[in-house]
Amino acid sequence: MSSDKAQFIQQLNELAQEVYKELGGGYNESVYEHALAYELRQAGIPYQRQPTEEIIYKGEHVGDQSLDFRVGDLILELKAARNISDTHRGQLHAYLNTAGFSEGLLINFPYPEKETVQIERVNR
């Protein structure tokens, strides 16, 4: 991973930590999503919130997926759960495949509250 990408991921981590520091745990995902969008705007980081990706099966449109965020060449999937689970990882992996992205970040705002936000990189 390039140092620029590592720095960018670190910046995203810091923004997510700021949201968690201000709000704490216990809210639903959409609250954290709105707060993270605010932080991304304040940091001047371009993003798309809730972009929709078509799911194609053998040339046939079979459904749509809404991503939480597309930021640069990353997909961000937000959770508000006790811990990151294999189900969460699988969901992000499916999003990466559908969108043609190679990497994403799972960002969990845990409850009961923990010291920090949980962030995990997922590769396709």
Q: Is the peptide bond before 112 cis (omega within 30 degrees of 0)?
A: yes
SS3 of residue 40 by DSSP: helix
Residue 1 confidence (pLDDT) above 70: no
In the chain, the DSSP E strands lie at 48-49, 52-57, 60-66, 69-71, 74-79, 103-108, 118-123
Arch. (CATH architecture) of 3-123: Alpha-Beta Complex (3.90)
The pLDDT tens digits for 9-31 are 999 999 999 999 999 999 999 99
Rounded to 5 degrees, φ, ψ at 10 are -65, -40
The pLDDT tens digits for 76-124 are 999 999 999 999 999 999 999 999 999 999 999 999 888 899 999 999 8
